[in-house]
Amino acid sequence: MLRRVPRWIVAVLLIVVIGGLLTACGSAEDYPQTTLESAGPHNDSILGVYSLVWYGSIIVFFLVEGLLIFSVFKFRGEPKTAHGRPVPVHGNNRLEIIWTVIPAIILAIIAVPTLQVISELSEAPGDDAMVINVIGHQFFWEFQYPDLGVNTTNELHIPVGQRIDLRLDSADVIHSFWVPQLAGKTDAIPGRDNRMWFEADAPGTYLGQCAEFCGLAHYQMLMTVVAESQEDFDAWVAEELAPPPAEGDPEEGLAIVEAQCAACHAIEGTSAQGQVGPALTGFANQELIADVIENTPENLAAWLDDPQAIKPGTAMPDLPLSEADIINLVTYLETLNGESE
Amino acid sequence: MAANHVIEHPTSTGLDNRKMAMWAFLASDCMFFGSLITVYLVSHGRAMVGPFPQEIFDIPFTSVSAFVLLMSSLSMVLALGGIQRGNVQRFRIWIATTAVLGCVFLGGQIYEFTEFHHAGLTLESSIFGSAFYVLTGFHGTHVFIGVIWLLSLLLASFKPGLVIREKSLNVEMAGLYWHFVDIVWIVIFTVVYLVEA
Amino acid sequence: MAAEHHVEEHHPGWQEYVRIGVILAVITAIEVAIVYVEALESVLLPLLLTLSVGKFVLVVMYFMHLKFDHKFFTWLFLSGLLLAVGVVLALMAMFGLMT
Amino acid sequence: MATQVRYVEDSTRIQEPEAGPSGLWSWLTTVDHKRIGVLYLVTALTFFAIGGIEALLLRVQLSQPNNAFVSAATYNQLFTMHGTTMIFLAVMPLSGAFFNLLTPLMIGARDVAFPRLNAFSYWVLLFGAILINFGWIYGGAPDAGWFAYANLTSPAYSPGMGVDYWVLGIQVLGISSVAASFNFFTTIVNMRAPGMSMMRLPVFIWMTLITQILIFMAFPALTVGATLLMFDRWFDTNFFIVEAGGMPLLWQHLFWVFGHPEVYILILPAMGIVSEVLQTFSRKPLFGYTAIVFAGIGIAVLGFSVWVHHMFTTGLGPVPNSIFAISTMLIALPTGVKIFNWIGTMWGGALWLSTAMLFSIGFVAMFIIGGLSGVMHASPPVDSQHQDTYFVVAHFHYVLFGGSIMGLFSGVYYWWPKFTGKLLHEGLGKVHFWLMLIGFNVTFFPMHWLGAIGMPRRIYSYGDGLNWEFWNMVTTMGSFIIGISFIFFIANVFITLVLGDRAPDDPWDAPTLEWATTSPPALHNFDTIPVVKSRMPLWTDKYPEVYGHESEPGEHGDPDLPDIQTDEVHDEIHLPNPSYWPLVLAIGIVMLFAGFIFTFVMSFIGLALMFISIWGWALEPAFGEADHA
């Protein structure tokens, strides 16, 4: 008897148990993009409902699947009645009512906190929140700090404990802004002003990425949120606002390439492996930039500053690069003679 | 579907199969035009360049068009009444009238489109233009198909045995379609033209 | 098939059709007229909608014979119609046109 | 024991089927619902295999981080076409195969209401399927996702031809579905055998009826959306062009007004199949027939009021999100009612665990999981984390694969003997079932977890610092187990067609009308149109001592429809004539659409063909002269 039981219970149970165990140990250290660990009040609210439905589902799952499997095993085989057919039962109104009402009660239990959290999360973040404009581009994120005059790409710095008021927009197609540990996602839709807020409880680096399919290099539209103490944040702002250095730093340039150009370009020996634009491995040996102008440092700087002005219609986006960024980039790109380091 | 047979398969409900399918089609077409009207309503106000609706709609002219289409519905029931009483002559007169009124409506629409085009409203000029032409254009296409249907019936009535009293359902089907196209225009005339003016 | 052709072939005569036609024409005339009456501007929208619903119902009931036909057709058509109206209203609300 | 088929007394009669006309021409001009059903079945299974291969390629690409098994561009085409193929070319036509094969037989009719329209629907489907796949050969396959969100699909962001194929193909497929839906709707309402009142209809027929209504109510929204997109792409209109005031969100609304009912279009037929199979193999009438029927109606009605739950993250605001969250949760109630009634059907029964029954039980088991995860993201805050992640991918595969596909395979095993006259091998069938069930869970259960740890869908590749690689590898292996299970099915089909046992008329001791005729059924389905006196006509006949009281006239009947005596039924058999006009009309329509891509001359030829074939269609006699002489 027992030998016949397990086959498909085992299959289902094993998977459920393994899945359940893993759920229990899904720490943010192991899984930097996890939704199950919260780093701020926005995701705290979500996790309140999330854990309710999660555990509720697991309980209902075991009850209903258990009932199903039990009835399969109990009633399999030949009929045991005298007339050779199981007793025909057409239904039972009381049972029908019970199994409609009980789920209705369960749903009501889920609905109440759901509605609370919806209204909680839709409240405006208040006047003392820091406004940041988030602009989705194919295929990078632009962050503007209008009060500070700072623009960054793919890397968002925020002070810990400060509520951030995000204004989402898109320069081209629909993107979705998502940093799981901090908040659920909100779409960045062209021509539509969406807002959301979040706040980080503790310093740290939180990963996120575009969640709405936006084209060829959608998968590389990654971002990092760096939450830091107010002092560190102020220091970072000061650095961003500092005048451009006279001489570029190739290390800085490489960092910019890996953060901002990697979605589209590939350079051997670096993490940049994009396939959308031309590979830049031997860029310094190239005669022309974008097949139109001579490859000189001045031209390269002008190209990076405003590609459309040099080659209208080019797929190369106008990245929000500071002057310092451009100098660093030029310095780095001029070192690319085709030999990987 | 006009065929040489007069077999009426008995049905479970006693209702004719084709009529059943026709009403299902009309219910479905409600969703089609409902969606198109929605698109117009939510889009047209977002036009960034003119001409804007108030500037170019010519209410008296369109009212005449609407009136013509309305009257074609009347002539359509009269045509149906004719064939149901076995009066092919009367059927021919009224079905031809209906087709002519339909053509007048289409002519009006072509004139209106031309005028608007001269005023600078095109499919690509603004979202109002896109939504307006697509909505009224699809309605016009429905009218056009209807006119061809009516003319086909008229033509078929000269061949013996095709359009006869026993097969008045063939005419009734065309009628249901035609009236539906008319009521769609009743809605469009109000929510697109009159409300804007 | 037992109930075959129990649905009466009740069709209004041509006088009735013409009468409906005249009513439809009159309503259209009223619609166009009130657009130009400035005093009615505040109630124009509901007024126009009511009048066109009236026209709509007349055509469907009489010219399309729903009044005399099997109720099944009425329900079938009404389900499509109400669904369409529901979608129109819901989308207008969500695109902020109802405020 | 496992492979033994029980033959029931009285039903071992094996008749040689009368040979119908054969040859290619007879298939091209056929209007017989059974042959058209076979065409649907073969087409659907072929595209199921193609969609499956696409899925396997996707899984190989994702099996390890930073992989480059296919290019990003190919990957995007593959996932777009995997979704489109599975939904429009595999699951819907597979359901369509059952609508065709079964509807007339189960309601006791000789054919559908409009046999030529039926042939037309099939040819349009086939040509639409070819059109939408044509990009693989010429110009690039669609690559903007199966829901083709504007404005990524605008000419500026999708300049290639892929989206053109998609937008035209989808409209052509819509024509096919909607034409078929009018047909089956009319057939079920109007063509029932005497005594077959609405509340005596088999549940599969009820679900078919509801599905048809959903199809013809929901598809127009998609048609309008696709038309706007088409105009944007060819005639420079501004519907989704943001710079001119266009609204990408409008596309999402139109798409999901269609798209959510579409989910029920995909699942309700499978639910109907499962209801039939559970009843037959529990050897016990369906528990709560009325509740199951009304739950189906409830699902259909509510299905139109939940579309915004696909758009919870688009920032519509708290009010729409709250309203649509509640309506979405409400759908769980009728769905739950169905699940409990299925369990109630098995309770106290005598379960015969045939392959078909196993697939149906598998359906219920897997659908419970899909339903529960569905309730989870009915809550917008939870959805804001789940949306566009692998959690959602897991969810809808539990509904559409663990649900629809399992249910449809259950139907294949159940009705196969009826239509081929051959029994599928039970042993191979059970291997198919267990491999598929295990492979399915190994593939899709881990996806819940992958979504929870932040893996978005539709990504070509991922880095290695995220710890996604292990479960992706497991998932990929699972997908190959599913692939292998399908090979067992194909082998089963070919082996049994050649070597298999002849099927008796009623191998499963089933209660519904289709088992009252021969296997395969004669061209005219029934020698005498049956008179139906209960919901389980074969059982009440065979086991009067158990079900005798069921056939009391009027007990479950529609008061309008008293039982009719057999002698009133005249069996003058009118069979529809074969016709080539459906095929020509279908060619015309597809040329009209394809002309947008290739050359407008093609469109004009298509229009001309359409015009001619509609005339030819209208003037040709639908029924043979000899028949009503």
Candidate from A2-11, A129-138, D1-10, D66-75 with smallest mean pLDDT? D1-10
DSSP D210-252: HHHHHHHHHHHHHHHHHHHHHHHHHS---TT-GGGT--HHHHH
Residues D253 and C94 sit within 8 Å (Cβ to Cβ): yes
* Strand (E) or helix (H) holding A207: strand A204-209
Contact D621 B24 (CB under 8 A): no
Choosing from D158, D335, D389, D613, which is the catalytic residue? D335
Quick check: is A341 in a domain? no
Q: What angle do CA A311, A315, A320 make, to 5 degrees?
A: 85
Residues 6+ apart with CB under 8 A from D129: D43, D47, D88, D89, D169, D173
Residues D513 and D538 sit within 8 Å (Cβ to Cβ): yes
Distance CA A63, CA D406 (A): 22
Identify the residue with better confidence: A245 or B2: A245
pLDDT one-digit tens code per residue, A31-47: 899 999 999 999 999 99
* Domain edge (last residue) among A102, A122, A142: A122
Contact B70 C55 (CB under 8 A): yes
Identify the residue with better confidence: A292 or B88: B88
If contacts are CB pairs under 8 Å, which of residues 13-42 in chain C contact chain B? 13-14, 17-18, 20-21, 24-25, 28, 31-32, 35
pLDDT confidence bin for B164, thresholds 50/70/90: confident
If asked whether residues C59 and C81 sit together in one domain, one would say no
Quick check: is C92 in a domain? yes
Quick check: is A339 in a domain? no
Residues in chain A with CB shorter than 8 Å from the CB of D330 are 107
Contact A187 D314 (CB under 8 A): yes
Residue A283 has pLDDT above 90, yes or no: no
Domain B61-194 architecture:
Up-down Bundle (1.20)
If asked whether residues C77 and C90 sit together in one domain, one would say yes
Quick check: is D534 in a domain? no
Residue indicated by tokens 């033959």: D7
Quick check: is A276 in a domain? yes
pLDDT at D157: 93
Nearest to A219 among D340, D349, D459 (CB): D459
pLDDT at D22: 76
| Number of domains chain C is built from | 2
C94 has a chain D CB within 8 A of its CB: yes
Quick check: is A140 in a domain? yes
If asked whether residues A290 and A211 sit together in one domain, one would say no
pLDDT at D572: 59
Residue C9 has pLDDT above 70, yes or no: no
Residues in chain B with CB shorter than 8 Å from the CB of D113 are 17, 20-21
- Told to judge if D309 belongs to the known catalytic residues of this protein, a careful annotator would answer yes
pLDDT at B5: 39
What CATH number did the domain enclosing D218 receive? 1.20.210.10
Residue indicated by tokens 């699951």: D91
pLDDT one-digit tens code per residue, B69-80: 999 999 999 999
Quick check: is A340 in a domain? no
pLDDT at A22: 55
pLDDT confidence bin for A153, thresholds 50/70/90: confident
Residues 6+ apart with CB under 8 A from C87: B31, B34, B35, B38, D221, D257, D304
Q: In this structure, which long-range contacts are made by residues C29-32, counting pairs with CB atoms below 8 Å and at least 24 apart in sequence?
A: C31/B63, C31/B190, C31/B194, C32/B59, C32/B60, C32/B63, C32/B194
Chains touching chain D at 3 or more Cβ pairs under 8 angstroms? A, B, C
Quick check: is A1 in a domain? no
If asked whether residues C55 and C20 sit together in one domain, one would say yes
Domain that holds residue A261: 250-333
Domain that holds residue D300: 28-463+470-505
Arithmetic mean of pLDDT over chain A: 86
Predicted ipTM of the assembly: 0.89
Specify which residues A288 forms β-bridges with: A294
Measured between CA atoms, the residue of chain B closest to residue C18 is B74
If asked whether residues A84 and A158 sit together in one domain, one would say no
Residues D532 and D195 sit within 8 Å (Cβ to Cβ): yes
If contacts are CB pairs under 8 Å, which of residues 13-52 in chain C contact chain D? none
Identify the residue with better confidence: B2 or A127: A127
Identify the residue with better confidence: B12 or A34: A34
What CATH number did the domain enclosing A256 receive? 2.60.40.420
Contact D284 A80 (CB under 8 A): no
If asked whether residues C56 and C75 sit together in one domain, one would say no
Residues in chain A with CB shorter than 8 Å from the CB of D467 are 30-31
- Give the Cβ contact number of residue D583 at 10 Å: 21
Task: Give Cα D113 to chain centroid, integer Å.
Answer: 20
Residues A227 and A202 sit within 8 Å (Cβ to Cβ): yes
pLDDT one-digit tens code per residue, B99-145: 999 999 999 999 999 999 999 999 999 999 999 999 999 999 999 99
**Of D93, D125, D92, D98, nearest in space to D266 by CA:** D92
Chains touching chain C at 3 or more Cβ pairs under 8 angstroms? B, D
If asked whether residues A170 and A228 sit together in one domain, one would say yes
Quick check: is C21 in a domain? yes
| Number of domains chain D is built from | 1
Quick check: is A230 in a domain? yes
Residues A185 and A176 sit within 8 Å (Cβ to Cβ): yes
Q: How far off is chain D from C89, nearest CA to CA, in Å?
A: 12
Size of interface B-D (CB pairs under 8 A): 131
Contact D217 B31 (CB under 8 A): yes
**Of D456, D117, D511, nearest in space to B25 by CA:** D117
Task: Give Cα D512 to chain centroid, integer Å.
Answer: 21
Domain that holds residue C37: 11-68
Alpha-carbon Rg of chain A, whole angstroms? 28
What CATH number did the domain enclosing A19 receive? 1.10.287.90
- Told to judge if D59 belongs to the known catalytic residues of this protein, a careful annotator would answer no
Quick check: is C4 in a domain? no
Candidate from A64-78, A167-181, A302-316 with smallest mean pLDDT? A302-316
If asked whether residues C91 and C76 sit together in one domain, one would say yes
Size of interface C-D (CB pairs under 8 A): 25
- Told to judge if D457 belongs to the known catalytic residues of this protein, a careful annotator would answer yes
- Told to judge if D176 belongs to the known catalytic residues of this protein, a careful annotator would answer yes
Phi and psi angles of residue D91, each rounded to the nearest 5 degrees, phi first: -70, -45
Quick check: is C32 in a domain? yes
pLDDT at A309: 75
pLDDT at D465: 86
pLDDT confidence bin for B7, thresholds 50/70/90: very low
C54 has a chain B CB within 8 A of its CB: no
Q: How far apart are the first and last CA of chain B?
A: 43
What proportion of chain A, given as a percentage, has pLDDT over 90?
A: 48
Mean pLDDT by 10 residues, chain D (629 residues): 31 50 84 94 96 97 93 94 96 96 93 93 96 93 93 92 94 96 96 90 96 96 96 94 93 96 96 96 93 95 94 93 95 95 94 96 96 94 95 96 96 95 94 96 95 94 90 96 96 92 90 91 85 87 78 47 41 75 94 90 94 89 49
pLDDT one-digit tens code per residue, A177-226: 999 999 999 999 999 999 999 999 999 999 999 999 999 989 989 999 99
If asked whether residues C92 and C58 sit together in one domain, one would say no
pLDDT at C5: 43
Residue A86 has pLDDT above 90, yes or no: no
If asked whether residues A297 and A204 sit together in one domain, one would say no
D321 has a chain A CB within 8 A of its CB: yes
Q: At what angle do helices A41-75 and D318-346 cross, to 10 degrees?
A: 10
Residues in chain B with CB shorter than 8 Å from the CB of C38 are none
If asked whether residues C60 and C16 sit together in one domain, one would say yes
